Amino acid sequence: MIEDVIESQQSLVQTLISMVEATWEHIVCNVEIKPLDDEEIYVDCLALVIYSRDGVLSTEPVRLNSAMTSDFGAIRRAMMTDDSNRNWTGFELRIDRPDRFAFDFNYDPPKRVEGLHDNQSYFRFDTYLDDYKKRLAATAS
């Protein structure tokens, strides 16, 4: 089971990396899922790439393709438990290098898929680059 989870996660990471230019420095992908039935899910995803071009950091949204939903579903299925309260409803994936990434799973009710667009679920991406620069500065000192 754990092998399926790791394989699904690594597949998603590689798919995201393949969708951006080679000058990427950081990718963040925030996913919310609402199960529609046993097989179908509704997915809301925000993804952003930070590029470093000539020493200047900038962001661009990542346009995800429909195959990504399959990757999200594969991870969810690989991690499902018999206790439906322990099945995640979202995650944030941060990628710093192809071999350095982190998934943070969320078990709270999803917000965006229910129409709630607040600072935590949506608008924080407006300031993500500034927050990223602060994290970089903090780790450099």
Q: What is the CATH number of the domain that holds 78?
A: 3.30.500.20
- Give residue-wise pLDDT tens across range 25-47: 999 999 998 888 767 788 889 99
Confidence (pLDDT) at 82: 62
Number of structural domains in the chain: 1
pLDDT at 83 over 80: no
Work out the average pLDDT over 69-91. 77
When pLDDT is averaged across residues 102-128 and rounded to a whole number, the result is 87
pLDDT of residue 85: 55
Q: Which of 60, 56, 5 is nearest to 28 (CA)?
A: 60
DSSP string, 71-97: HHHHHHHHH--SSGGGS-SEEEEEEEE
Q: Which domain holds residue 53?
A: 2-140
- Give the position of tokens 């754990």: 2
Beta bridge mates, 43: 33
If pLDDT is split at 50, 70 and 90, which confidence band does 141 have? confident
